[in-house]
Structure 1
Amino acid sequence: MSAAVRFVAPPPGLAPHTTFTLDPVSESGGLFALRAVQDPDVRLFVLDPGAVVPDYAPVLSDSQATGLGLRSSDDAQLFVVAHMTDEGVGVNLLAPVVLNRHTGDAAQVILEGQDLPVRALLA
C-alpha cells in the first residue's frame, strides 16, 4: 500500500519537499518510508507507534488539529520518526508526524505540555 502525503510545511531538514509517498518497508510490521516525490533519495523512516509503543497517546492542540482538518481522533494516523543509534532504534515521541487519513495532509508537530522524550530507545 502506497499513499500520497502532502505536508502543510516541509518536515524539518527536508525542505523544500512537501509531497511524499508513504510506503511500508517490506514486511517490517509498522516501519514505513516517506520518500519525496521529486527526489526519492530524500526520505524519512517512520514507525506506527502502536506497533512499538502501545501506550503512546499524545494530545494535539486545537490549532494543530484544525491545521490538518482533523474533526476527530479517528481522522488522524500517527507516526514517530525513527533513527538508528549506536544503542539501537530510537524514536522521537515529542514530535510525531500526524496524517489526516482522509485528505493526505500531514505535519510533524511538536506536542505542547507533554513530558515525552525526543530520543527514546525501543526495547
Structure 2
Amino acid sequence: MKVNIETIAWGKIEITEEQLYKFEKGIPGFEEEKSFAWIQEEDSPFSYLQSIRESALSFLLVDPFLFYPEYAFEMPDQDVEELGDKEQLGVACIVTLHEQIEQSTINLLAPIVMNKATHQARQIVLQDHKYQTKHPLQFTQENQSTTDKGGQ
C-alpha cells in the first residue's frame, strides 16, 4: 500500500507501508508526533525521518557507525523489551547541518532505534556521559569513499 504525504522539503511524496515507523512515545520535544516515514536518499549515507502529520517536521539521519565506528551503547531493558528482537534493530542518529559543513554535528547521545520487522521506533536518550548531542560530523577517508560510492 502506498500513501501520499505532504512535506515542506519535497512537496507531495509517495511512501510505502515499509517506510512507516511508529514512535509510541513520540520524539523528545515532539511527543505528539507518533508516525514518521523513513526516507532513504539514493546514493547517500543520509536519510530523513519525515512526520506524517506535520509537513514541516523532518530530521536528517545518518548511520553513526560511518563516522564513529567505535560507537556502542547499552539499551535499557525496557526499550529492548518494547522494541523486540535485537537482530531486527537498526540505529541512526540525527544530524544538525550548518552552513559550513565542517561545523555540522551528530547526536550520539540520543540515537533513533528502529525495529525493521515491526516498524516500532524510539529515540533513546543514553545515560552514558561519554556521548554528547553535538559530536563533530567528521568525514574520514573511509566514510568519504563510502559516500563517493553511494554508500556501497
**TM range, normalised to the smaller chain?**
0.7 to 0.9
* Pair 1:71–1:44, CA change in 2 (3 A): same
Q: Which runs of 5+ in 1 are unaligned?
A: none
The corresponding residue for 2:56 is 41
1:11-41 C-alpha deviation (Å, 9 max, x unpaired): 1233421101001134222x11111112232
How far apart are the structure 1 equivalents of 2:129 and 2:73? 8
Residue 96 of structure 1: how far off its partner (Å): 0.4
Alignment root-mean-square deviation, CA:
1.9
How far apart are the structure 2 equivalents of 1:5 and 1:21? 6
Residue 55 of structure 1: how far off its partner (Å): 1.5
Tell me the TM-score normalised to structure 1 length: 0.85
Match of 2:96 among 70, 83, 88: 83
Match of 2:85 among 60, 66, 71: 71
Tell me the TM-score normalised to structure 2 length: 0.70
Q: Structure 1 or 2: larger helix share?
A: 2
How far apart are the structure 1 equivalents of 2:91 and 2:24? 15
How far apart are the structure 2 equivalents of 1:84 and 1:101? 26
SS of the aligned residue for 2:111 comes to: strand
| Structure label with greater radius of gyration | 2
Moved more, 1-10 or 100-109: 1-10
How far apart are the structure 1 equivalents of 2:43 and 2:128? 35
**8 Å Cα contact 2:20-2:36 kept in structure 1:** yes
* Segments of 4+ moved more than 6 angstroms: none
Q: Which runs of 5+ in 2 are unaligned?
A: 1-14, 139-152
How far apart are the structure 2 equivalents of 1:11 and 1:71? 21
SS of the aligned residue for 2:109 comes to: strand
Report percent identity of matched pairs. Answer: 22
How far apart are the structure 1 equivalents of 2:132 and 2:93? 11
Map 1:1-123 to 2 at 5 A: 3-29=19-45, 31-68=46-83, 70-72=84-86, 74-85=87-98, 87-123=102-138
Q: Structure 1 or 2: larger strand share?
A: 1
